[in-house]
Structure 1
Amino acid sequence: MSFAHLFDFLERLQANNHKAWMDEHRKEYMAVRDFFIDWLEDMNQQLAAIDPDYFDTPGRKAINRINNNLLYHPNRPVYKDHFGAGLDQVSKQGDFYIELGVNESFVGGGYWHPSSKALASIREAIDYNGEELQAILDKPSFKKMFQVVDPEPLSRPPKGFDKDHPHIELLKRTNFAVFRPFSQKQISGKDFQQEVIKTYMELLSFRRYLNQAVSV
């Protein structure tokens, strides 16, 4: 089993995105899923060995369901076009996220569509010490590695903040997430695991800033 098998399975699943096909190929799905879980478990152990504050997240806990939530999103396909997982997964905090999919694959972290409470906490931290977050985002190695995701910034300052605030552009954000894209060729290469570890380490200061803000 390999990542090539994983992507091949996902491509065929998207071409036959219905329960009958999945039931017919259930054994293959479980084999691909178990391969990814084993890979996540290995990553879990490696990250725990290099980060003393890492939160142990076994592979079976880390992996997300492949079924879409049709109760709240009835127009979506039955199955997702990717395998997703969150490592260093502390409850109600931003985990280290890995997504391997047909159309895109990436590694990243932060807060994507945070709750109103979490967003308010992050803005309070920026108001108090936005210089630290800006320095993290401006670090050359961070800027080179990651893309910042925020498709829905506010056009005006959020309530309670002046338009002349020194960190007004950060305060206008409604998402605080970054990602590093990977191609299928990179994922199948021998260096992928080491690149994931490098990504984790570069992302730590960003995630810790946000998680500290939300946990206060």
Structure 2
Amino acid sequence: MATPKFNKNIFDFFKQLENNNNRDWFNEHKTEFKTIETEVKQTYNVLLEKLNKHDQIEKFKMFRIYRDVRFSKNKLPYKTHFGGSFGRKKPELRGGYYLHIQPNNESFIATGFWEPNKEDLLRIRREFEQDDQDIRNIINNKKFKSVWGEFVGDELKTAPRDFDKNHPAIDLIKKKQYIFIKKYTDKEVISDVFIDDVNASFKAIRPFFDYMSDVLTTNLNGESII
């Protein structure tokens, strides 16, 4: 039996939905969507199995196609992409993985810390304030960088409260998110090797996750807090 993979019909459907993003059209094509959704979920589950061979995934969530428009200026009712997240086993393992499938070469994978709570964010910043050499060794490693590039995400314009704006690690300290993103073309997504490449890329993030997990499960003296 062939390993499930993403097919071109995903992109074909979403391109049609982009031009017909309304409930009447979607309801007419809902059976088609459900078939595609089932196939896509099977492929996400293949990735889940691969991740669990080198990590411990506690939670997998595939997001619904329906948009919450209550507080959004964009009132289109449907997303034109698939998204799924994989959460690591808490509390000892921190960080998570995300896979986003969207036409027009907008697919990507992301990993890291999207919205660290204020306690975790402060703990990370204090660690960088105390010693930023370990994290720089990880993110500047040539092999690591060839897969993930640089940090992306929101950051403050200046130093956070109670931090020195002239600190040597202020570039790291002022970040509000610690995220890495890798983009893919439509052709790459539907290739036979896509899931293996995604899995290998996620595996390559482990030095960063191991470091951050150690930071977030200890105090500044290195004593366990879990």
TM-score bracket relative to the smaller structure: 0.7 to 0.9
Evaluate the alpha carbon distance shift between residue 90 and residue 54 of structure 1 in structure 2; reply closer, same or farther with a 3 A threshold: closer
Instruction: Verify the 8 A CA contact 2:152 2:181 in the aligned structure 1.
Output: no
Q: Is the 8 A contact 1:63 1:86 kept in 2?
A: yes
Residue 4 of structure 2 corresponds to residue 3 of structure 1? no
Q: 1:94 to 1:81 in 2, by over 3 A?
A: farther
8 Å CA contact retained: 2:153, 2:179: no
Instruction: Give the deviation of 1:211 after TM superposition.
Output: 4.2
Asked which structure has the greater CA Rg, the reply is 2
Which of 13, 22, 25 does residue 21 from structure 1 map onto? 25
CA separation in 1, counterparts of 2:188 and 2:201? 14
Query: What residue is the counterpart of 2:100 in the other structure?
Result: 99
- In the TM superposition, residue 212 of structure 1 has moved relative to its aligned partner by 4.3
Counterpart for residue 37 of structure 1: 41
- The amino acid of 1:86's aligned partner reads S
CA contact (8 A) 2:153 2:178 kept: no
Deviation at 1:13, TM superposition (A): 1.2
State the shift of 1:213 in Å. Answer: 3.9
Matches within 5 A, 1:5-154: 5-49=9-53, 51=54, 53-57=55-59, 61-90=60-89, 93-103=94-104, 104-150=106-152, 152-154=154-156
Kindly provide the CA deviation profile for residues 132-178 of structure 1, in whole angstroms up to 9, marking residues without a partner as x. 22111101122222243535432221111112323111001122101
| Structure-1 residue corresponding to 2:161 | 159
Please, which runs of 5 or more residues in structure 1 have no aligned partner?
A: none
TM-score (norm. length: structure 1): 0.86
Mapped to 1, the partners of 2:178 and 2:84 lie a distance apart of 18
Structure-2-length-normalised TM-score: 0.82
Q: Which amino acid aligns with 2:39?
A: F
- SS of the equivalent of 1:199 reads helix
Structure 1 residue 179 displacement after superposition: 0.8
Q: What CA deviation, in whole Å up to 9, does each residue of 1:87-133 have, x standing for no partner?
A: 24446953111001124111120122444333223213322442222
**The 10-residue stretch of structure 1 (13-22 or 70-79) with the greater mean CA deviation from structure 2:** 70-79
Letter in 2 for 1:12: Q
Q: How many residues align?
A: 211
- The residue aligned with 2:223 is none
RMSD value, Cα: 2.3
1:42 positional shift: 1.3
Aligned mates of 2:51, 2:153 — CA distance in 1: 30
> How far apart are residue 180 of structure 1 and its match?
0.8
Q: Which residue of 2 aligns with 1:195?
A: 197
